[in-house]
Amino acid sequence: MKTLHAFRLARTLDAGIELLVENRHLLTVFVLEPQLFRVVLRKDGQFRLGRSWSVAPKAEGSLTPADVAWEGRSRLDVSGFSCPPFTVEDRGEAGLVLSTDALRLTITAPLTFVWEARQADGRFLVFAEDRPTGAYMLDVKSHAHAHYLNRRKGEKVYGLGEKAGDLERSGRRYEMRNLDAMGYDARTTDPLYKHIPVTITRTPDAGTFSVFYDNLAGCWFDLGNELDNYHKPYRSYRAEDGDLDYYMRWSPSVLDAVKHHVRLTGGTAFPPLWSLGYSGSTMHYTDAPNAQEQLEGFVRLVDEHDIPCDSFQLSSGYSSIGAKRYVFTWNSAKVPDPAGLAATFAGAGLHLAANIKPCLLQDHPMYQDVAARDLFIKDSESDAPSRSVFWDDEGSNLDFTNPATIAWWQGNIADKLLRYGINSTWNDNNEFEVWDNHARCHGFGEEIDVGLIRPLLPVLMTRASHEVQVAHQPDTRPYLISRSGAPGLQRYAQTWTGDNRTAWETIRYNIRMGLGMSLSGLYNVGHDVGGFAGPKPDPELFVRWVQNGIFHPRFTIHSWNDDHTVNEPWMYPNVTPLIREAIRFRYRLLPYLYTALYQAVTADEPMLRPTFLDHEHDPRTFEECDEFLIGRDLLVANVVDPGVTERTVYLPQTDTGWWDFWAGSWHAGGTTVTLPVTLASMPLFVRGGAVLPLADDLNRAQAARDTSRTYALFPAPGAASGVSLEYADDGFAVDALEGNHALVRLALTSTASEIRLDVARSGRHDPAWADASFVLPAGETRPLILNGEAVASGISRPVPRA
């Protein structure tokens, strides 16, 4: 690749400037928001791919995700952005300066960008700068390109999605290339399932900046692993194809950067309430010759063992012929009555999500018909279907940039799943490992090499499934899962960290992977609890994994153990009571978790949060640790090591301190607490000043069954005030966010001598509970004043309308 040097200002646009680079390439800097610029390089003035599917600007406060047309969004489209006023100053040899009230970009020769942001005191400080000894490189004979930034001492880099290892990414190298990485090592394996090319960098003195590269071609991020004597310390982004097209945003905090990134890529889907319940799954049920009997046995066993549960994820064995799997077929010997199966689950209040795959094996009963219709990705050198290795054979991947393929897919979902009463889809094995990069996709009428859009295909696959589910049940919010994808996937589906390996280390690093996804715009995430591949977990490991899993948005116990055992809540009778207790506690937390989901959708707040996200003022929160927040009020400190008898927890600095949820004792922020633990322990702390909504004795995540409510108050020790919320609806209505809900506002004020709580409910939905109990921690002795009335802790009172 050649380094780009010379440039000149070609023209000023309504929304930015255009430079002519090396007298042949066009580089456009768009001013999209006061704190958001975009840099686009067109080789020889032409886009390699003039469309984006990742960027879908969502207005702050919007209640639903934004989206793009199926065929994508023009890369020259600036709709959805405010495009504020800016100034351009030509300083001769000192370069060009492009400014808004908040950002200042200086462009100097050789082509180098220096970014400055206005701080709270009015000063402009440099927050990012290109490597001056070569910042932009472009291949002469292809569209490979690279971008280099200086690394600054003290920077902390986050993002890149579900990457293995520590949450802070500095010093390592990562590849974006979607792979089916079954049994991966959560500490070291790379690449994995998703393509999320965004970094969020906290500077030591000038705030936070995010860089999002809107390119779906394979790429690498080197964040300091590489050293070169001829340059200062640097970091790089290198792509094998596509266009250099990046969004540079400055933010005062990491949290602000995260929220703006998820808005840039469209926001978060709002699934039904039941998606937060426990979901069972295993490969071995559907692989068994009596699959229907085994599956229906699960329905009986959750009741026998008194395990709360809401759904089951139907693995692909139901579609087998012999040892292989054929999407949209039913093995009638193993599952003779799909409608009866669905009815059995529905009758128990359980939902089914069926596994579907986008590749048809070469001997699939429908392969020849699909090939004749040109619904597959095509070979690079002929019109024959492109062939790839898939599930112990070869097959061809469906082309979801072809409207005819989308229609075929949706028709099969409707006929093979929805008509039987299986109303949710699990979009799996959708990494699209087509390594002939020039294999051809339809491109909605404008052919595209698969190498340019491989991670887009699982997003479009999931969108197609989403669309047919909505058409089938237009009054019900859909639920979908997808393993692979790119930015924008979160507009349609929940996701997870794929086929992990059973090991203690996996719990620790899955925590970090989930937090990494959350910081990268994927909020509704989880892990295969108990481990998917490898040996079965021993009883202690299984208990600790479940105790961790209950605090994640997606809580699924899933397995394909080497010895054909199944990870089930009752797999070890001696610890089943502990598993039951943990899952019941998950259901007690459902009102809090559902409120966190509501805030993720409407306010773009992450559900899983590293402790520094809300306590950036505390440098100790940036240390690698196993603690995390679910919502902003619950600090989870699971035990993730075997045989331990105590757990040490650092509590972030905050004036209101932290309450031990179980002991009812208060601890000052900025302190370290050591707790004795047994196998039953689930260390949990609550932010001082919070009010938690809690359910009582639920075994299904169904609003109609949620007939009692407890508000647990955790007041600050001195003078403080704050507001907590509870969101509730019927659990599935599509118009819930348009007023068909209840929103309870809980204003908690404390002084040294008393605690006051003012509570009121708004919205047109009437919850199944009318009264609520108001409970103080065991260690709290100050009197409680509830809506002006002195009451005792534990009192039950109606919740008035506002």
pLDDT digits (tens, 9 = 90+) for 640-688: 999 999 999 999 999 999 999 999 999 999 999 999 999 999 999 999 9
Residue 372 is given by DSSP the state: H
Considering the chain, what is the average pLDDT of its residues? 97
pLDDT mean over 357-364: 98
- Predicted confidence (pLDDT) at residue 392 exceeds the cutoff of 90: no
- Predicted confidence (pLDDT) at residue 727 exceeds the cutoff of 90: yes
**Can you read off the two tokens belonging to residue 420?**
């039987």
> What local confidence, expressed as pLDDT, does residue 93 receive?
86
pLDDT single digits (tens) 251-267: 999 999 999 999 999 99
> What local confidence, expressed as pLDDT, does residue 491 receive?
98
> What local confidence, expressed as pLDDT, does residue 602 receive?
97
State which amino acid sits at residue 121: D
Q: pTM above 0.85?
A: yes
Query: What sign does the CA torsion over 307, 312, 313, 314 have?
Result: positive
* Domain boundary assignment for the chain: 2-264, 608-798
pLDDT mean over 506-526: 98
- Predicted confidence (pLDDT) at residue 618 exceeds the cutoff of 90: yes
> What local confidence, expressed as pLDDT, does residue 607 receive?
98
- Predicted confidence (pLDDT) at residue 802 exceeds the cutoff of 90: no
Distance, CA of 450 to CA of 514 (rounded, Å) = 28
Distance of CA 118 to the CA centre of its chain: 31
Q: Please name the fold of domain 608-798.
A: Immunoglobulin-like (2.60.40)
- CATH number of the 2-264 domain: 2.60.40.1760
Distance, CA of 28 to CA of 75 (rounded, Å) = 11
> What local confidence, expressed as pLDDT, does residue 94 receive?
87
Residue 274 is given by DSSP the state: G
- Specify whether the CB–CB gap between 81 and 37 falls below 8 A: no
In 646-760, which ranges are continuous DSSP H helix?
Answer: none
Q: Provide the terminal-to-terminal Cα distance of the chain, rounded to the nearest Å.
A: 64
pLDDT single digits (tens) 362-391: 999 999 999 999 999 999 999 999 999 999
pLDDT single digits (tens) 446-497: 999 999 999 999 999 999 999 999 999 999 999 999 999 999 999 999 999 9
pLDDT single digits (tens) 470-484: 999 999 999 999 999
- Specify whether the CB–CB gap between 532 and 560 falls below 8 A: yes
Is it true that 2-264 and 608-798 share their CATH fold? Answer: yes
Distance, CA of 54 to CA of 41 (rounded, Å) = 18
